[in-house]
Amino acid sequence: MNISFCCTDTKAQPWLEGLRAALPGATVEPWSEGAAPADYAVVWTPPQAFFDEQTRLKGVFNIGAGVDALMKLRLPAGVPVVRLDDAGMSVQMAEYVSHAVIRHFREFDGYDADVAQGQWSYRKPRMRTDYPIGVMGLGVLGERVSQTLAQFDFPVLGWSRSPKAIDGVQCFSGDDGFKEFLAATRILVCLLPLTPDTENIMRHDTLSRLLPGAYVINVARGRHLVDDDLLALLDNGHVAGAMLDVFRTEPLPAAHPFWAHPKITVTPHTSARTLREESIAQIAGKIRALQDGAALASIAGVVDLKQGY
């Protein structure tokens, strides 16, 4: 069995060693143009040339949860694409979003500023009921995040394509539920996959529907958010602030207004990192299962190519 590793912005050696150790007997090599076609591919933002050379692939494993970069390519017909299914990301995402929510709700930025000036200050405690949190996307990550936030006694709402029932979370779905969801949300968390249906979903008319003094947390993809619309709503005060981990161009260009905006906190696409050991164990387990004849339906994380996630 040949496994080809084709991941940009990734140190290949530890992955190659890990995959070789987890799949003894397999040949695991980094891809280079003209290399022998592979049985399985382990990829992150590969070039089209990689797929153009593959004639016998049985599966493509993406070392991230989001497959938007793959969906832009011409993939070999009939080959399953499998994304990471949690692999240690949901707990990181729950940490990040809880941090963002609590930092905003408890006004820790304000306290930091006061302390920096040597001031011992108090702010009036806020009511949790005034800060309903709406999580867009209730998949592997969104479900864990919404359940974690509910543990802090915030009112939590969730929105997904298909209807869901999650303890402690008021669930909405589809186009019909979207406006109601937005109108009841003050802190908005985006955990949607990037697809033609979700691109630019956070724009002027949708963000305007949030409760006044809204707060925006984007941990999904930069193209979910229309940057200028967020800036305009921060200027007019409808949105009080934002914590953003993902951007249309990454790294965020030095001249981008988000860097220096006093109401925006920027982090460098780090809310939920791919954990190498967990990911290798997950991918190797799935390759072994497929080799042993497991049904595709039994493999978690197989992408619905029609839906694009």
Catalytic residues: 221, 269
Instruction: Supply φ then ψ for residue 136, to 5 degrees.
Output: -90, 120
Based on the shown chain and the rule CB under 6 A, indicate whether residue 101 belongs to the binding site for ligand NDP.
no
Site for ligand OXD in 64-103 (CB under 6 A): 64-66
Considering CB distances under 5 to 8 angstroms, the limit depending on partner class, which of ligand OXD, ligand NDP, none binds residue 112? Answer: none
Cβ burial 247-281 (10 Å sphere, 16+ → b, else e)? beeeebeeeeebeebeebbeeebebbebbbeebbe
Amino acid at 134: G
- 291 by Cβ neighbours in 10 Å (0-12 / 13-18 / 19+) ranks as middle
Based on the shown chain and the rule CB under 6 A, indicate whether residue 301 belongs to the binding site for ligand OXD.
no
* Closest distance of CB 190 from ligand NDP, Å: 8
**What is the rounded distance in angstroms from the CA atom of residue 100 to the CA atom of residue 150?**
15
- 111 by Cβ neighbours in 10 Å (0-12 / 13-18 / 19+) ranks as middle
Packed helices 12-22 and 276-291: angle between N→C axes, nearest 10 degrees: 40
**What is the rounded distance in angstroms from the CA atom of residue 250 to the CA atom of residue 222?**
9
Instruction: Supply φ then ψ for residue 99, to 5 degrees.
Output: -60, -45
Judged by CB under 6 A, the stretch of 4-12, 15-23, 248-256, 267-275 that binds ligand NDP is: 267-275
**What is the rounded distance in angstroms from the CA atom of residue 22 to the CA atom of residue 119?**
55
Based on the shown chain and the rule CB under 6 A, indicate whether residue 137 belongs to the binding site for ligand OXD.
no
Site for ligand NDP in 53-82 (CB under 6 A): 65-66
Based on the shown chain and the rule CB under 6 A, indicate whether residue 150 belongs to the binding site for ligand OXD.
no
Considering CB distances under 5 to 8 angstroms, the limit depending on partner class, which of ligand OXD, ligand NDP, none binds residue 219? Answer: ligand NDP
Judged by CB under 6 A, the stretch of 58-66, 72-80, 144-152, 195-203 that binds ligand OXD is: 58-66
Q: Indicate which single residue of 140, 252, 264, 287 sits in contact with ligand NDP (rule: CB under 6 A).
A: 140
Site for ligand OXD in 229-288 (CB under 6 A): 274
Based on the shown chain and the rule CB under 6 A, indicate whether residue 38 belongs to the binding site for ligand OXD.
no
* Closest distance of CB 224 from ligand OXD, Å: 12
Residue closer to ligand NDP (CB basis): 4 or 90? 90
Sites of contact with ligand NDP (CB under 6 A) = 65-66, 89, 137-142, 159-162, 191-195, 197-198, 219-221, 245-246, 269, 271-272, 309
